[in-house]
């Protein structure tokens, strides 16, 4: 073990459960880690774990059972942070926080906030200067990262199944895997166009992965590799 940084914050029930992935970024020319969990966003030096800055007060009403599952995404000089959960009415939020702070930046580095839209499990995706949210019932929301304004919002076909996998985007195409094993492909960017739905015939919870013109899907029983190169 190279270093350990304890994040012992007093939070409501279950909010200290964390499932997010650390995000790498540059802070004052040094590699840093962005961590989201326990109702706090913190930045740490990648070399020794030293706390660079912290941002709190994402849950002023002390709402419980908000485990951090969806990871933040970085665009430019901001972190787009999903807060709360969109499987419960009125409990989802999205914040934008500037990355260039030092010390406690709770009152100084929030760029914008949305309290009428958000996600719970699926992490946001960034593509060509836009932020894409895949909500738990299949709505895709495109946000302007500079202002938080909704550019468009469109539904995917609905069933009783939810979306737990995070979306991925390549060549202007968004891939979204529903829990019941159906993978949707939609053209995004300026507008939304649903292109196909593909039943994989087994449960899909893991997020798709892209690489070398291949789409990797991990189901309950199989690993699928799909050629997605342009023809």
68 closest CA partner among 116, 152, 7, 127: 7
What are the chain's domains?
7-121 (2.40.10.480)
- Per the CB < 8 A criterion, the answer to whether 117 and 92 are in contact is yes
Q: How far is CA 164 from the centre of its chain?
A: 11
d(CA 130, CA 120): 19
pTM listed for this prediction:
0.96
The band of 231, judged by pLDDT with boundaries at 50, 70 and 90, is low
Is 177's pLDDT higher than 60? yes
Is 173's pLDDT higher than 90? yes
> What pLDDT score does 45 carry?
98
pLDDT one-digit tens code per residue, 18-59: 999 999 999 999 999 999 999 999 999 999 999 999 999 999
The band of 229, judged by pLDDT with boundaries at 50, 70 and 90, is confident
> What pLDDT score does 154 carry?
97
- Per the CB < 8 A criterion, the answer to whether 83 and 92 are in contact is yes
Instruction: Using the structure block, give the residue that is written with the tokens 């919002």.
Output: 153
Q: Average pLDDT of 142-168?
A: 96
- Per the CB < 8 A criterion, the answer to whether 97 and 134 are in contact is no
> What pLDDT score does 127 carry?
97
Q: Average pLDDT of 218-224?
A: 97
Average pLDDT, the chain: 96
d(CA 231, CA 222): 26
pLDDT one-digit tens code per residue, 71-130: 999 999 999 999 999 999 999 999 999 999 999 999 999 999 999 999 999 999 999 999
What torsion, rounded to 10 degrees, do the Cα atoms 214, 215, 216, 219 define?
-150
d(CA 63, CA 79): 22
d(CA 124, CA 106): 22
């Amino acid at each position: 073990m190279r270093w350990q940084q304890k994040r012992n914050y007093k939070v409501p029930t279950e909010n200290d459960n964390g499932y997010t992935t650390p995000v790498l970024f540059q802070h004052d020319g040094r590699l840093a880690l962005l961590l989201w969990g326990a109702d706090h966003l913190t930045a740490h030096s990648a070399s020794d774990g030293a706390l660079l800055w912290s941002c709190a007060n994402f849950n002023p009403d002390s709402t419980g059972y908000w485990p951090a599952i969806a990871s933040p995404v970085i665009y430019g000089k901001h972190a787009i942070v999903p807060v709360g959960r969109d499987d419960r009415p009125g409990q989802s939020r999205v914040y934008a926080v500037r990355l260039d702070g030092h010390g406690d930046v709770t009152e100084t580095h929030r760029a914008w906030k949305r309290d009428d839209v958000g996600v719970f499990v699926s992490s946001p995706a960034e593509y060509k200067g836009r932020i894409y949210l895949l909500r738990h019932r299949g709505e895709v929301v495109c946000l302007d990262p500079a202002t938080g304004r909704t550019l468009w919002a469109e539904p995917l076909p609905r069933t009783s199944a939810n979306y737990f996998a995070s979306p991925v985007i390549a060549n202007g195409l968004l891939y979204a895997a529903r829990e019941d094993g159906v993978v949707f492909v939609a053209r995004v960017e300026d507008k939304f166009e649903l292109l196909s739905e593909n039943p994989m015939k087994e449960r899909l919870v893991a997020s798709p992965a892209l690489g070398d013109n291949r789409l990797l899907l991990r189901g309950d029983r199989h690993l699928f590799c799909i050629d997605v190169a342009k023809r």
